[in-house]
Chain A
Amino acid sequence: MPTVQQHAPDAPETTEPGETPAGESTPAKSETLLRADFERWSDSFAKKINGELASLRKKGSPSAVTAAPDSVAEPKAEPLTVEDLKIYREIGRLEESVGQDMIDGLGEDYAGSTPAQQILILRGVQVGLAKTNEGSRGATPVVKPRINARAEAPVPRDTTPRPRSQQEHQALRSSNPRAFKALMAEDNYDPGKLPWSV
C-alpha cells in the first residue's frame, strides 16, 4: 500500500516577544492610539460601504455602467462615485414606486439597459401609471413613493394554505384573496371535490 509522505508545513517566521521586526520602528504610544482609532473608524466605514455595495449589487453590476457593450474581457471593477450612488438610489426609489409586477413586465428591455436608461424607462412608466390612475379614479394625484414602501411580497407557493374542505375554501376567499386566486388558477385544484367540512 503506497504511503503518502507527510511534509511538515513551512515554519512561519516568528518574532520573539519584545523584538521588533526588521525595518520597522517602535511607534510612540500616542501614535498607537491614533492608529487604533483610525482602524476602528476604518472598520465601521468598510462595513457601511460594503452594505451599500451589497444592496447595489442587487440592482445590477456597477461595472455595467462603464463596460463597453461588446467587451468580452472581465470588466474591471471601478470604485463607485457619489454620482453612481445617486443613480442607483434613484433607480431603487423608482422601482419601488412602480412596483415589482410592472418591472417584471418590462422584461429584457429594462434589465438589459444602462442605469441611465433604466431611470428614463421607470420615469416613463411612473407617468403612465399616474395618467391611468387619473383616468380611472378622477383627480388622483401622481403616485408618490411612500417612505420605506415595499411592493407587496409575492405569496410563496409553499406557504399558501391549501383548503381541506369547502368551508376552508370559503374562508380563504376573504382572508387571503391573492392566495385564493392563485389556488383557483391551479389546474389540479377543484373545490367541488372537497368535503363540506373536516
Chain B
Amino acid sequence: MPDNREKYVSDRLINRVSVTSSLKSLFTDVVADGRVAKNDSFEIPTRSAIQVEQVSTGSGAATMTVQTNTATPNLLTVDQHYGAVIEIGKMNAKYDLAGAWSDQLGDQVMIEIDNYVDSDVFTRALLYGGAWLAGATTPTTWVNPSGAAVTQDMTEQALAVMSTQRGVSLEGCEWVFHPYGLGSIRRLSAFTPIHTPVAAGGSLGMRTVGELHGLPVKMTNAVPNRLSIATTAVVVSTNVATATVAAGHGVVAGMLLTSTGHTVNSSANVTVTSTTETTIVYPLTTGDATLADGIGTLTVNLTINGLVHRPWAFIAQAKVPTIAIHARTGGKIVDELQSHTFWGSRGLPGAFIALGSPRLAFT
C-alpha cells in the first residue's frame, strides 16, 4: 500500500507535467510511455547526406555507383540520473493531503528538477550537439558569439542560416530566449510581443512571449548566460594559449573569455581565436611555457539564445519524476521524500542556431 503522501505528490507532478511547457518539451520524445531506465539507448535518425547521382542520360543508362550511404547507428543514451532528497515533517491523518501540502511540495520538486533537466538538455543537446559542429573551423551555426548588442540583421541571419539547411521546416522552429536576451530583442521591429503572456501551467514553465520574424518566441531561464570550462593544461606559445579541456565545451571562435586559476590569467575579456573538440585557443601575453598549474577555469560571459529546429532535437525521459517517501530511523521526527528522474538528450548538427546577446544587459 503506497504512502498517501507519495501518491498525492505524484498526482501533482502528473498534473504539472501535463499542463506545463518547458524547454525539454520542445524536443521530440522517443519514449512514448515514459518508461526509461539508466543506460537505455534508442536509435534516432541521422542527418548524414545521401549521395544522389544521375541514373540515366539521353543516350542511355548510366552505371550507378553504390555510395557510402551505409547505415550508421545514431544512439541516444539515457545517461543522466538526478534527484533530490527532501526532509518532510511527519503529518497526522487530518492533514489535507490533496491540498496545499502536496501541491507545494510537488511544485517545488517540479521547478527544481525541470530547471536542472532543461539546463542540461540545452547545453548537451542544443549548444554542443546542435550548434557546435565538431571540427568546424568557423562557427557556421553561431551568430554574434561575442555577445554584442543584438540587431535585426543578426536575427535575420540566424533565421537565414537555419532555413538554408536542407530539410528544415519553419513550422518546426521556435526561438528560445533568456529573460535578458528577450530584453535585447524587444526593441526590434521584427518582434511582435504578446502583452499578456500565458503559461498553460500557471506560474510554472516556459512562456510564449511573442513572435520574431513570424516564429514563436519562448522565454526560459534555462538558457545559459555564462559558460565555465575547466582546463587540465595550458600551453603558451608566442602569446597564444592553448587550453586542454573536456569535449562538449561549446565554445566557438569569436567568444570573449577570461581565465582564472592559472599562474598567468587573462582578467580582461579576450577573443577566442579557434577551438577543437578538446582545445580552446586564446591570446595570453606571457612567455612561452607550459603553465605549471594548468588546472583552472575559462569563463565566457555571454547569453546564449537561439533558434531551435524541434524535429532535430531528441530526448528520452521519464516524464514524471519518481516519488518515494521513507521514514527516518533513529528517533527522527521527520521523514524524507526522494525524487529522481532519468533522461538523455541529443541534438542533430544544425538543430540549433545560437544567437548571442550581452550577459545581464540589454545592449
Tell me the A residues contacting B by CB distance below 8 Å. 165-167, 169-170, 173, 181, 184, 187-193, 195-198
**Residues on the B chain within 8 Å of A196, using CB:** 32-35, 319-320
Chain B 14-55, CB-CB to A under 8 Å as 1, else 0, gives 110110000000000000111100000000000000000000
Say whether B322 faces chain A, with CB atoms less than 8 Å apart: yes
Chain B residues closer than 8 Å to A198, beta-carbon distance: 33
Closest CB in chain B relative to A168 CB, distance in Å:
10
Output the least CB separation between A166 and chain B (Å). Answer: 5
Q: Beyond A184-B98, A196-B33, A196-B35, is A190–B15 a contact (Cβ under 8 Å)?
A: no
CB pair B7 A191 closer than 8 Å: yes
Complex alpha-carbon distance, A61 and B32, angstroms: 59
Q: Are B14 and A189 interface neighbours, CB within 8 A?
A: no
| CB nearest to A167 among chain B residues | B18
Residues of B that sit less than 8 Å from A by CB: 1-2, 6-8, 10-11, 13-15, 17-18, 32-35, 98, 319-320, 322-323
A190 with B6: CB separation less than 8 A: yes
Q: Which 6 A-B pairs have the closest CB atoms?
A: A196-B34, A192-B10, A190-B2, A196-B319, A195-B33, A190-B7
Contact present for B32 and A192 (CB under 8 Å):
no
Closest Cβ of chain B: how far from A146's Cβ, in Å? 30
B10 nearest in chain A by CB position: A192
The answer for the CA separation of A40 and B7 in the assembled complex, in Å, is 64
Q: CA of A26 to CA of B24 in the docked complex: distance in angstroms?
A: 97
Of chain B, the residue at the smallest CB distance from A197 is: B33
| Nearest-neighbor residue (CB-CB) of B7 within chain A | A190
A192 close to B15 (CB less than 8 A): no
Q: How far is the CA of A169 from the CA of B1 in the complex (A)?
A: 18
Tell me if A165 and B33 are in contact (CB < 8 A).
yes
Q: Which residues of chain B are within 8 angstroms of A190 by Cβ–Cβ distance? A: 2, 6-7, 10
A166 and B98 in contact, given A192-B7, A195-B34 (Cβ under 8 angstroms) = no
For A166, what are the chain B residues with a Cβ–Cβ distance below 8 Å?
A: 14, 17-18, 34, 319-320
Contact A188 B1 (CB under 8 A): yes
| B35 lies within 8 A of A195 (CB) | yes
Q: Closest Cβ of chain B: how far from A82's Cβ, in Å?
A: 50
CB-based contact B33/A192 at 8 Å: no
Q: Is A192's CB under 8 angstroms from B320's CB?
A: yes
B1 touches A170 (CB 8 A): no
Which B residues touch A169, using CB under 8 A?
Answer: 11, 14
CB pair A184–B32 under 8 Å, yes or no, is no
B320 touches A173 (CB 8 A): no
B13's closest neighbor in chain A, by CB? A192
Collect the chain B residues with CB atoms within 8 Å of residue A181's CB: 98
Please measure, in the bound complex, the distance between the C-alpha atom of A189 and the C-alpha atom of B33, giving whole angstroms.
Answer: 19
Quick check: B8 and A184 within 8 Å, CB to CB? yes
* Contact (Cβ within 8 A) B323 A192: yes
Min distance, Cβ A183 to any Cβ of chain B, angstroms: 10
Select which of A173, A189, A191, A197 is within 8 A of B32 by beta carbon: A197
| A173 CB contacts on chain B under 8 angstroms | 15
Contacts of A189 in B (CB 8 A): 7
Nearest chain B residue, comparing its CB with the CB of A163: B14
- A residues in contact with B322, CB < 8 Å: 192
Most chain A beta-carbon neighbours within 10 Å: one of B8, B17, B33: B33
| Contacts A189-B7, A191-B7, A193-B2 given; does A170 touch B18 at CB 8 Å | yes
Q: How far is the CB of A184 from chain B (nearest CB, A)?
A: 7
Cα separation A192 to B13 with both chains bound (whole Å): 9
Q: Roughly how many angstroms separate A3 CA and B1 CA in the complex, as a whole number?
A: 63
Cα of A169 to Cα of B15 in the assembled complex, Å: 9
Residue among A165, A166, A187, A193 with the highest chain B CB neighbour number at 10 A: A166
Query: For residue B323, which residues in chain A have a CB less than 8 angstroms away from its CB?
Result: 192
12 contacts between A and B (CB under 8 A): A166-B320, A173-B15, A184-B7, A190-B10, A191-B14, A192-B10, A192-B13, A192-B14, A192-B320, A193-B2, A196-B33, A196-B35
Q: Most chain-B CB neighbours within 10 Å: which of A173, A184, A191, A196?
A: A196
Partner of B34, one of A170, A187, A191, A197: A197
Residues of B contacting A170 with CB < 8 Å? 14-15, 18
Contacts of B17 in A (CB 8 A): 166
B49 to chain A, nearest CB (A): 35
Q: How many Å lie between the Cα of A173 and that of B13 in the bound state?
A: 13
Is there contact, CB below 8 Å, between A192 and B34?
no
Chain B residues with CB below 8 A from A184, complex form: 7-8, 11, 98
Docked complex Cα distance between A121 and B272 (Å)? 86
